[in-house]
Amino acid sequence: MFAPTISTCKAPLSHLLQRCRRPTSLSSLTKQLCRHHERHSHSRLVLGIETTCDDTGAAVMDETGRVLAERLHTQKRIHAKNGGIIPPLAQALHRQFIDPVVQGTIKDAGIEMKDLSAVALSTMPGMPLSLRVGLDYTKDMLLRHPHLPLIPIHHMEAHALTVRMVERVDFPFLVLLVSGGNCILAVARGVGDFKVLGVTWDDAPGEAFDKVARRLKLQHHPDCLGLCGGQAIEKMAENGNFRLLIERGVPMSRHRDCNFSFAGLKNMANWLIQHHEVRQGLTASDDHHLATISDIAASFQHKVTQHLVIRIARAMLYCQQTGLIPEGNQTLVVSGGVASNDYIRKALDFTTSLFKYKLICPPPYLCTDNGVMIAWAGVERLRLDMGFAEDPQSLRFQPKMPLGEDISEQVTEANIKIKRIKFW
């Protein structure tokens, strides 16, 4: 139906992930892998499998965090043509590519199933049709290899822990998880131990980006072909003026908490688009693009960033007042697909510096969904001997699952006022 677009990566040293997205010399890396595998043949190995949304990923990692092999089949170009993810199509593509992705990864690692110590699988949260493919495939695989324990992985926790694979980040730390389906602000106190300060009440930021991009018809814009909604907005915003919405307020300004709302921002952008269509004599069904498309994209992106900045500033002050994060651990980790947005990263870097926090983001390649982050979350649990499924065959996927204990009401009770932060 579609030509496979499976990428591979053999990287025995985790710092290689920061140096390049794909190896420049596969033969040279393979030699490194062989030498490393000889020295660390005693190290336990984890296979990670990811199918929560529109990426089919797998990775083999040892318990020191070294990636032996990785493969990823992404559906983004296909869904970009449709203006968004179509769940039945995503499921069909997962089914088509999960076996070559997983088996190819095992082959690339130069191992056999008997060499694995555990399988880590993303089982929550995510799109039900996509989650089902990963779970069904893994259950079938474990029937043939019953010696392997299964470690169910919370997809958002995997995003939160990924940074610990490439940098020294000790618990506790503040973490913002921003993606196409989630927006969570929490204190990570340990593996499986999160205090949630705030979540989105409606749309996720990535979802809002996608919907505004569709309304702007960016999937048909020559500069945005093949880009997802968030990437397209960021691309168009590069040459835009963000002041079109400067007089509009920031959502939830009267709510002194750390929760988010992106539906209002989406509606604000839709109003702006309609207003400019009327002024320029266009309709939503026209094939022509607005002359002010870059300004609209920049204005929407700026408002989303403002909203994120205010809630994060409040979270940093709350953690300071309550001692949730000791002075020596004042770190904000930002991960998830939206964390790849350079404009948002720079604004958050400015904001964290005001509060004497350090901003750390995983490499952009690791911010999007992949098998490496699932394998790493499995390694974190394997080291602690925790989180194994008692009966893998009875395990079920969970489309919605909280990350940890919700303490957002306590944040509201603290009633912390935030002054306007001018990051540009």
CATH number of the structural domain spanning residue 10: 3.30.420.40
Residue 131 and residue 223 share a domain: no
Residue 214 and residue 84 share a domain: no
Residue 258 and residue 123 share a domain: no
218 occurs within a structural domain: yes
Which amino acid is residue 35, in one-letter code? R
229 token code pair: 């909604």
Residue 199 and residue 117 share a domain: no
207 occurs within a structural domain: yes
pLDDT at res. 137: 98
Tokens 């904001």 map to which residue? 351
Residue 355 neighbours by CB distance under 10 Å: 16
- For the chain, the domain total comes to 2
- Those residues whose C-beta lies under 8 Å from the C-beta of residue 171, and which sit 6 or more positions away, are 188, 189, 190, 193, 329
Exposure string over 302-326, b if 16+ CB within 10 A, otherwise e:
bbbbbbbbbbbbbbbbbbbeeebbe
Question: What stretches in the chain show pLDDT beneath 50?
Answer: 1-40
Tokens 């089914």 map to which residue? 95
CA 197 – CA 357 distance, rounded (Å): 17
CA 147 – CA 63 distance, rounded (Å): 18
395 occurs within a structural domain: no
DSSP 64: T
Residue 73: in which H helix or E strand, if any?
strand 67-74
CA 324 – CA 186 distance, rounded (Å): 11
CA 314 – CA 197 distance, rounded (Å): 10
Q: Are β-strands 45-50 and 118-124 bridged in parallel, bridged antiparallel, or unpaired?
A: parallel
Residue 179 and residue 111 share a domain: no
pLDDT at res. 17: 36
- Going by C-alpha positions, the residue among 159, 179, 102 that lies closest to residue 133 is 102
Residue 144 and residue 44 share a domain: yes
What is the residue range of 325's domain? 173-361+405-414
Q: Give the pLDDT confidence of 147-195 residue by residue, as tens digits.
A: 999 999 999 999 999 999 999 999 999 999 998 888 999 999 999 999 9
Residue 232 and residue 205 share a domain: yes
419 occurs within a structural domain: no
How many CA within 13 A on the CB side of residue 123? 23
- Going by C-alpha positions, the residue among 424, 319, 47, 367 that lies closest to residue 182 is 367
Residue 133 and residue 88 share a domain: yes
In this structure, are residues 332 and 175 in contact, taking their beta carbons and an 8 Å threshold?
Answer: yes
1 occurs within a structural domain: no
Residue 174: in which H helix or E strand, if any?
strand 173-178
What does the angle CA 98 – CA 374 – CA 131 come to, to the nearest 5 degrees?
50
pLDDT at res. 27: 42
266 token code pair: 């989406």
56 occurs within a structural domain: yes
Rg of the chain, C-alpha, whole Å: 22
Residue 199 and residue 148 share a domain: no
Residue 99 and residue 140 share a domain: yes
Strands of the 173-178 sheet, one edge to the other: 358-360, 331-335, 173-178, 183-190, 193-199, 405-406
In this structure, are residues 338 and 206 in contact, taking their beta carbons and an 8 Å threshold?
Answer: yes
* Full-model pTM: 0.85
Residue 250 and residue 178 share a domain: yes
Burial of residue 173 (number of CB atoms within 10 Å: 0-12, 13-18, 19+): buried
316 occurs within a structural domain: yes
184 occurs within a structural domain: yes
Residue 196 and residue 99 share a domain: no
In this structure, are residues 260 and 307 in contact, taking their beta carbons and an 8 Å threshold?
Answer: yes
